[in-house]
A and B are shown apart, each in its own frame.
Chain A
Amino acid sequence: MGWRVGVDVGGSFTDFAALDEADGRLVTLKVFSRPDAPGAEIEQGLGLLASQHGVAPQDVAYFTHGTTVGINTVIQRSGVRLALFTTAGFEDVLEMARLKMQRYHNLYARRPEPLIPRDRVFGIEERIRADGSVPMPVCRDSLLAAQRAARAAGAEGIVLAFLHGWRSDVNERAAEAILLEADPALPVFRASGIWPIIREYERTITACISGYVQPRVAHYLDRFEATLARLGVPAAPRITRSNGGVMGVRQAKAECVQMVLSGTASGVIGAGFIARECGFPKLLTLDIGGTSADLAVLTDGEAQYGTGEVIGDFQIHIPSVSVTSIGQGGGSIASVDDFGVLQVGPRSAGSSPGPACYGKGGTEPTITDAVAVLGLIGHSELGYSAVRLDVAAARAAVGRLATKLGTGTEETAASILDLSISAMYADASGLISRFGLDAREYSLLAFGGAGPMLACFLARELNMAGVVVPPTPGVLSALGGLVADLRSDFIRTIYATLQLGAEAPLQEALAAMRRDATTWLVDEQGFAGTPVLTLSAEMRYRGQSFEVDTPLDPAWVEAGDIDALRAAFDAEHERLYGHADAEEAVQVVTLRLVIAGETPKPQLRRIAEATGQPAPQATVQAFLEGAWQPVPLYARDALRAGHTFLGPAIVAQPDSTTCIPAGFAVAVDGFGNLIITPQAR
């Protein structure tokens, strides 16, 4: 028996969750992230775990880790210098992308600078057709000439992305062999080996991002391992992935791209764990930090998965937990335009300089400052002593806008809060419309530093069933890493019409994926239990330009039951879009297999039963409904199972503050979750 430790490095803070395997005790803490000295925050946090909670490094039996180093590499454009080899005639793939631009009403609109400039893109004489036939094998001379030119241009790696690499990788593999033979020191990244989807731009950009972050992330992981070794942590660490699972460090170093979105994914996985353990079947998760606000759907604790998540200027097409951005978090800056209309965002103070009230050099009023002015936060220390709120600074920042508007500082702060909620409402209602959900059946599970602060206001606008605030909302990503399963995705692009005779390629693909998946889980990750396999296919009616991911029973494929596959797709299309077309031909675009090996889960501890009513720690003044009024402040750790109280109220804890406006009732459940429901009006 020992400790299980999860560490999640975010933009502003690094979160730690440690679970005592002996008695299920969960302890958490936060330290500032150290982008200047990555790894230092881990040393500091482990030190605090030891000194404050008695978690000795040598007792850490299981260790998971997520980091933003990959995503930062893309956002800051600090990756390596790459060359891209494409099929000759298609060298402009990155420059043209999918043509369409954001904010296309602006005549100055531009696409982002390509990750690899055109002068390091080289066309190679080779060709594969859509059916996998090879009219032209890869030309050795053309390849070696390109390699020389790439080296001369200072390339530190080569991305290979040939047309129809989704269908056949023979030319890419042959090219890789030739290139590595000629120069083993110049790494090669094969698009067909990273995520072989059809659509050349999407596959190419994914491979480019993969190669781009590779050395930075691998180097970081080397140092991370060394840090753990020096501290005497015996556990072999596992790294969290964008798909919500974990993998070993060796694989993480080889497939760095798999971890770029692990931070947001882990939060949703942590929320999913809470949802399953505590019995919340229909949730939207709301994760608000300093620089982002993200929403995800959890049905019976299961996240939704997809590809095409946004990372910096690009979309990346690897399987990821689906989240939708609904704003830029607590750091979004408020301003007043020339017409006396208040605006919030799109500029953000981010984590540096951050909100004015953080006292780290920020002077512009942010959402967090508005909430501080209203007296809703600032009654205890945020982020485990990392930040002491400077309410005066917040008042000064918001006051400047109030002067412009000719109204009071508090009124201005209230308007900023209302406006930010309405902006989140607009984006959230988009997600709800897109998935065709009925918001009244869903509760909002709030986490991240600022999630619980804003959740009730948003849930009220969305007419939701209520809000759930888990016991440690500020460190849910770290908890998510702790409970994540070993998980990996496999794909074969089929692109065939579903008809008699289509069963053979499907069966071959399934068998091959099974082999790959088992090799990964058993041989590479050393998993000894029973694997869980999930099969699905992306299908569409002929002529449609988008696919519907349809869950399948592997037995249907093995038995060659084409009718069952067809029926499954029709049913899924009907469910999602309200109509199906039994006459139209159906195409199977890809077959996907997910393998998961369940890791041991902690047992959430039940908290002590309440005796009598909760006693507020203090009564504070807050500006609500247009006036200052006394509001009870509860300490989270003093709440007991069965406690109930009414809003307005504030619940403070080291990693977050929960604001409960009037009109909501709070009940504390057996696990310590705050169950907040709107009262009938």
Chain B
Amino acid sequence: MPIERRSLQILANHCGAAADAMAFALMRTAHSAFVKETEDFSCTLVTPEGEAFASPRQFGAPWYSGINYGPVLEMIGAYEPGDICITNDPYSGNVATHTPDIHIWKPVFHDGQIVCFVVGHIHNTDVGGAVPASLSRSLTEIEQEGIRVPPLKLVSQGRLNEDVLRIIKLNVRAPEQNWGDLKAQIASVNIGERKVHEIIARFGVATFSAGIREMLDYAEEQARAVLRGIPDGEYFFADFADEDGEGGVPCRVALTLRIQGGAVELDYTGSDPQVASSLNMPTGGRERHPLALVGLTYVLYTLNNDLLMNAGTLRAARAIMPEGTLLNAVAPAAVGMRSLTCMLTQIVTFGAFSLALPDRMPATSPGGNSIMNLRTAGWDGRPVMASIGPVGGGGGGTPVSDGPNGAGGAQAFLKNTPVEISEAEVPVLFRRYGLWRDSAGAGRYRGGLSAVMEFQVFAPDTVVTARNRNRSVFSSWGVLGGRAGTLSHFIRNPGTPQEVSLGNTDILRCEPGDVVRVVGAGAGGYGDPFTRDPRLVADDIRQGFVSPERAREDYGVALRDGVVDEDATRALRAAPGRAARTAHFDVGTARAAFEAVWSEERYALLTEFLMAQPIRWRHHFKRRFFAAVAEGQGAELRLAAQMQQIGSALLQSAGLPAAR
């Protein structure tokens, strides 16, 4: 039976069910904790050209629904039935984006023709390299991040290539676990292949082949319709990671968003050069690389909850990522922690769309969710490790409601770890796990409160890691009068004479008895807090979310006996001297101070200079620039002259030609 437009959803349901079946097979048989706990995997059906047309409807990483496998599909010469291919190399086709993500794909043949591919990845716990689990911000070259398998046939016409397997197993820390995961992936694509054959038996091959293209077209039309509802124009926004590496300087992602007649361009020109840490994204500059468009996917889905999410969704989009920058790093740049940078691309996307659609876009969630891990000795003295959960901020305030507390926005997909499980697993005593009062950015609708976790450790040489930590320097912004949220904190022995604030560190060695407190960054608010219904403020005070002091200060609301004091509130809100905020964003004091020096103009000059230099010099020069500006070199000059002077001196000292 031919699929008519009106019945397209029928085929979409069957294809979604096939992807679900792949995901269930994976979850049932995989060994990695990542699969079961954080669902860091994908299972996808892609067209013969590599465009994703179906993904699991409720599971898996939320980043890959629009992935295009085309670049790696082409890297295999000829496919035969029964082949299964593999790669985890971020620099071969840019489908894998860091080494622990092992991707495999299998062609589905019908009457001698490839009708689609079934594909997927698992984040493996370890793939070897310099550090256990293969990921660390401090790594500087891809070679340090573990074994890399170029695109090749792991299974050839049904026969496993044992040699490849032996090489992989020899280079990783827990080979049986990787092999277990790989078997799960093979089972998953085999199920996917069988399901596709069932769909073809049900609908016919012609209907299937035409239908999957129609599904992509449908998603494209849906996305374009959403985009047509957004005013044409150019919208610029940038945001920063606190550090571009350990002890580094701020790391910037800049986005110029261009909306034109149902199409969208995300121009990341002006973002920092690639860095000598593992924050780089290996996108190959591909214009629809999923990592560059995660934020866009969120925006489109938020604006139309009926969106069929596949590669068609992204057809209306084009990303521009100049080579040798953070968003398009070239080998041998390390890429392990690209998730932190990807989160920034999402945040700037939300910011730019907020400019385009101020009445419909919420403020952002802060990002920088610390993934907390504890490595210590068990009660029996054996080393034990436990993932004790994410600690982050809430969701940003929205045009109609407060942001959710503890998690939200683009960070709503992670589960926490019960305190009781952590305490039963490892010697740790929690003193607190909950919400941090006054952390939310004030607003007509406030941001969500951030989470706080405080615990005591007992064994010597206990190591606490807070992977992905950020926002200890720069706040998460508020919009339209809404305020920025508070900063994140990582504190050892809070409230004691031994208290140490750990800044933006993401790793801490503890002494027995140490107490560690981690507080996430607060999310920004939406709209002028002085227009918030005072009863909502009173309710926040009653709930313990806002202190009476902040209520007066930030909201101009006074309470008497637990209820709003109308007269006092009117007086507070009418008090002179409160400058009306006209800026679209409140980025917080630290960023405002930083940008007073590192203005848009200065960044433009820096970018122009760096982009003219060899890629491997860029990060070095960037840091030297920051040091020179901080030292006040050429401070007496006008901005352009100062930057030129610093640049010339740098080139000279490096022995590079002045004019390039």
Interface contact A119-B542, CB-CB below 8 Å: yes
Q: A340-B5, A341-B218, A577-B29 are in contact. Are A92 and B62 (CB under 8 A)?
A: no
Interface contact A107-B62, CB-CB below 8 Å: no
Interface contact B416-A96, CB-CB below 8 Å: yes
Nearest residue (CB) in B for A117 is B543
> Which residues from 80 to 96 on chain A have a C-beta closer than 8 Å to any C-beta of chain B?
89-93, 95-96
Distance, CA A430 to CA B17, complexed state (A): 7
Could you tell me the distance in whole angstroms from the C-beta of B99 to the nearest C-beta in chain A? 22
Partner of A99, one of B198, B221, B407, B432: B407
Q: Say whether B101 faces chain A, with CB atoms less than 8 Å apart.
A: no
> Which residues from 422 to 450 on chain B have a C-beta closer than 8 Å to any C-beta of chain A?
423-424, 429-435
Q: Say whether B301 faces chain A, with CB atoms less than 8 Å apart.
A: yes
Q: A92-B406, A106-B301, A543-B33 are in contact. Are A129 and B180 (CB under 8 A)?
A: no
Interface contact B6-A340, CB-CB below 8 Å: yes
Distance, CA A104 to CA B435, complexed state (A): 20
On chain B, the residues within 8 Å of A96 by CB distance are 405-407, 416, 433-435, 451
Partner of B412, one of A100, A117, A130: A100
Partner of B419, one of A110, A200, A426: A200
Interface contact B9-A343, CB-CB below 8 Å: yes
Could you tell me the distance in whole angstroms from the C-beta of A334 to the nearest C-beta in chain B? 11
On chain A, the residues within 8 Å of B431 by CB distance are 89
Q: Say whether B408 faces chain A, with CB atoms less than 8 Å apart.
A: yes
Nearest residue (CB) in B for A460 is B202
Interface contact B16-A198, CB-CB below 8 Å: no
On chain A, the residues within 8 Å of B416 by CB distance are 96, 98-100
On chain B, the residues within 8 Å of A339 by CB distance are 5, 218, 221-222, 225
Q: Say whether A76 faces chain B, with CB atoms less than 8 Å apart.
A: no
Q: Say whether B46 faces chain A, with CB atoms less than 8 Å apart.
A: no
Distance, CA A405 to CA B16, complexed state (A): 24
Q: A107-B409, A108-B401, A544-B36 are in contact. Are A430 and B435 (CB under 8 A)?
A: no
Could you tell me the distance in whole angstroms from the C-beta of B411 to the nearest C-beta in chain A? 9
Distance, CA A101 to CA B20, complexed state (A): 19
Could you tell me the distance in whole angstroms from the C-beta of A421 to the nearest C-beta in chain B? 8
Q: Say whether A141 faces chain B, with CB atoms less than 8 Å apart.
A: no
Q: Say whether B414 faces chain A, with CB atoms less than 8 Å apart.
A: yes
Q: Say whether B532 faces chain A, with CB atoms less than 8 Å apart.
A: no
On chain A, the residues within 8 Å of B302 by CB distance are 105-108
On chain B, the residues within 8 Å of A93 by CB distance are 434
On chain A, the residues within 8 Å of B20 by CB distance are 426, 429-430, 433
Nearest residue (CB) in B for A164 is B420
Distance, CA A342 to CA B9, complexed state (A): 7
Q: Say whether B478 faces chain A, with CB atoms less than 8 Å apart.
A: no
On chain B, the residues within 8 Å of A103 by CB distance are 305
User: Which of B14, B33, B412, B415 has the most A CB atoms < 10 Å from its CB?
Assistant: B412
On chain A, the residues within 8 Å of B13 by CB distance are 419, 422-423, 425-426
On chain B, the residues within 8 Å of A457 by CB distance are none
Interface contact B434-A429, CB-CB below 8 Å: no
Interface contact A198-B10, CB-CB below 8 Å: no
Could you tell me the distance in whole angstroms from the C-beta of B522 to the nearest C-beta in chain A? 15
Q: Say whether B21 faces chain A, with CB atoms less than 8 Å apart.
A: yes
Q: A92-B434, A426-B16, A430-B24 are in contact. Are A99 and B406 (CB under 8 A)?
A: yes
Q: Say whether A436 faces chain B, with CB atoms less than 8 Å apart.
A: yes
Q: Say whether B533 faces chain A, with CB atoms less than 8 Å apart.
A: no
Interface contact A341-B36, CB-CB below 8 Å: no
Q: Say whether A148 faces chain B, with CB atoms less than 8 Å apart.
A: no
Interface contact B9-A119, CB-CB below 8 Å: no
> Which residues from 116 to 150 on chain A have a C-beta closer than 8 Å to any C-beta of chain B?
117-119, 129-130
Q: A105-B298, A105-B301, A433-B21 are in contact. Are A110 and B408 (CB under 8 A)?
A: yes
Minimum-distance CB pairs A-B, first 9: A92-B434, A433-B24, A426-B17, A89-B432, A422-B13, A104-B412, A118-B543, A101-B412, A130-B424
24 pairs from A and B in contact (CB 8 Å cutoff): A89-B431, A92-B434, A92-B435, A96-B407, A99-B407, A101-B412, A108-B362, A110-B395, A118-B544, A118-B545, A119-B543, A129-B423, A163-B430, A198-B424, A199-B418, A340-B6, A341-B8, A342-B6, A342-B7, A415-B7, A418-B10, A426-B57, A430-B17, A430-B21
Chain B residues in the interface with A (C-beta under 8 A): 4-10, 13-14, 16-17, 20-21, 24-25, 28-29, 31, 33, 36-37, 57, 62, 180, 187, 191, 198, 202, 218, 221-222, 225, 297-299, 301-302, 305-306, 309, 350, 361-362, 390, 395-396, 398, 400-401, 404-410, 412-416, 418-421, 423-424, 429-435, 451, 454, 542-545
